[in-house]
Amino acid sequence: MESVDNRLAGAASAYLRLHADNPVDWREWGEAAFAEARERGVPVFASVGYATCHWCHVMARESFADAEVGAALRAGFVAVKVDREERPDVDAALMDAASAFTRQLGWPLSVFLTPDGQPFFAGTYYPPTGRQGVPGFRDVLRGVGAAWQEQPDAVVNTAGRVQEALRAARAGSGERADALPDAAEIRAALAGVAAQEDPEHGGLGEGQKFPQAPLILALVDVDPALAGRLLDAAAGDDAVVASGGYSHLRGRDGGFFRYATRRDWAAPHFERMLIDNAQLLHAATLLGRETVAAGIVGFLDDVLRLPGGALAVAEDAESTVRGQRVEGGWHLGPPSPERERPPLDRLVVTAANGLAIEALSIRALRDGDERALALARGAAEHLLAHHVRPTPEGVQLVHASLDGQASDAVATAADAGCLASGLLALTAATGEARWAVEARAILEAAPDPVAVAGQGPALELGPASDGDAPSGEAALAGALHGLYALSGDAEHLERATRLLDATLAIRNPFAGAATLRVASLLAEPPQTLVLVGEPPSALRREPGALVMSPAQAAELADAGFELLAGKEAPGAYRCRGFVCDLPEPF
């Protein structure tokens, strides 16, 4: 076999490192790969996945370990590996383009691009040879290679039409009304979700079942009964979990699996993601699901917490059982020396940790959970030490790191927004000004969202939407609203309003749940409850609560957070906008 450079062994991505020994001559995403493609006159093949993805592992074992596949990729393509956790911008753009070629979107994502970076064909999982209607990857490579050699103009025209369609769709989605939707419009849009509820098995839809964490969060204030039913359907029966099994999507150690492959929830897909569990913790806390919330805190602490205090991005779907990789192997039988725990993707992603810090802080504030507070502090300390870099202009974020090695990937708007929201929530839980000061610095330095931030060709994105976590626009606008609520600085509110476009979300709440949640915050003046002293637990659970000592209130006011000015006397200050009632004694 022709020798292959081991280019991925030192990557700041566990997923890329898993592919370092393939017979494929992989490159990382970047301008160098596309420059080589232009020099050689060949297409680029981009394979997108992540380290805990079961079908990514299957394609790696079957196709990318295949010598014939490796030879074909070396001869006719420049092969690029992309970790969607490390490069969410590239993943989003390639996923949008792939929608023009297949309705079966997911990971692994397989995309062929011109040397100028325009996608012209895409699919998902391919075995080496055809199977049950799925084309063989060897055949796909031969067909794509022949099309490139024999009909290059047609290939380039196809790529151009895809990019034009994405550009037009994004431009059309930006034709927003002069104002964001009001509360009534948001409620009406979310009310339509109830029609999708499965009356027999719970959850939404009649196929695979996802917990729909962003949608549950958006429904908490609009339709808490529906939000509770959706969460309960995913969480299942406490008695089953207590007996050492798993119930629907909730594992025996409290963490939620990614989704169920059957309508009745009986067959989980066993990968567990930080973004899902962080948002489900947030929802469970707001809905008063104590057992569920405590279980998720335990999972984050016992399974995903890394030695430095940050949280790993995911736990693998596969376990090793008697030397073989088995999906769900750890969960489908009792612990034993023959069953190894699923490996973690130790990648530390700023946005995902920000979501967790926010949820853990809200849990600590409302329920006095010291374990949650310690987790939030640990993750926040780690990120501020390793993912926030001072610059002459302010601060610069790191998007991701692996075992202390920072990725070269440019930080996203979601990184800035989610981390800032987490730090603001930590101030609300502790009264400590330092977290809010750091959040303000991050938001003031954060650029507005862009499609793909350098490091390769410009890629078109379709209309901005929320996926399994808030979009960059929603995350940044939500954090800016939180900063406005503390500071009274109208520039933060104006920027948030300018960033957020809820046009698509109103039409399709499933694609814009986080956007609708932020839009509902922007539709009304902020309502806060400043609790100075030692408030009773009932007050800590009210919406918009912040708890602090008199000295902490003064420190926050001195730091420029005007909401706290003149609130050193103990009591509960109820504020709408920035007009506050006289303090109520506890």
State whether the Cα torsion 559-560-566-571 is positive or negative. Answer: negative
The pLDDT value given to residue 1:
43
Q: Which residues pair with 82 in a beta bridge?
A: 48
Q: Are 413 and 443 in contact (CB under 8 A)?
A: no
The pLDDT value given to residue 168:
80
Q: Are 521 and 528 in contact (CB under 8 A)?
A: no
Instruction: Please write the tens of the pLDDT for every residue from 326-384.
Output: 999 999 888 788 889 999 999 999 999 999 999 999 999 999 999 999 999 999 999 99
**Token couple for 90:** 């590239």
DSSP symbols for 91-103: HHHHHHHHTTT-S
Find where tokens 């196709």 sit: 63
Domains of the chain, residue spans: 14-173, 525-586
What are the b/e assignments for 72-95, b being 16+ CB within 10 Å?
A: bbbebbbbbbbbbbbbbbbbbbbb
Contact partners, residue 551, CB within 8 Å, separation at least 6: 568
Instruction: Please write the tens of the pLDDT for every residue from 42-75.
Output: 999 999 999 999 999 999 999 999 999 999 999 9
Q: How far apart are the first and last CA of the chain?
A: 77
Q: Which residues pair with 530 in a beta bridge?
A: 546, 573
Q: CATH code for 14-173?
A: 3.40.30.10
State which residues of the chain have pLDDT below 50. Answer: 1-3, 453
What span, in angstroms and rounded, lies between the C-alpha atoms of 102 and 4?
32
DSSP reduced 3-state for 339 = strand
Kindly report the pTM of this predicted structure: 0.94
3-state secondary structure 194-257: HHHECCCCCCECCCCECCCHHHHHHHCCCCHHHHHHHHHHHHCCHHHHHCCCCECCECCCCCEC
Integer angstrom CA distances of residue 385 from 59, 147, 326, 361 = 37, 50, 37, 19
DSSP reduced 3-state for 403 = coil
Q: Are 128 and 62 in contact (CB under 8 A)?
A: yes
**Token couple for 354:** 């920000």
DSSP reduced 3-state for 289 = coil
The closest alpha carbon to 276, from 313, 241, 244, 228, belongs to: 313
Which helix (H) or strand (E) segment holds residue 445: the answer is: helix 433-445
Contact partners, residue 47, CB within 8 Å, separation at least 6: 59, 64, 79, 80, 81, 82, 108, 109, 110, 111
Integer angstrom CA distances of residue 504 from 189, 477, 507 = 11, 16, 5
Integer angstrom CA distances of residue 65 from 18, 61, 122 = 11, 5, 20
DSSP state of 134: B
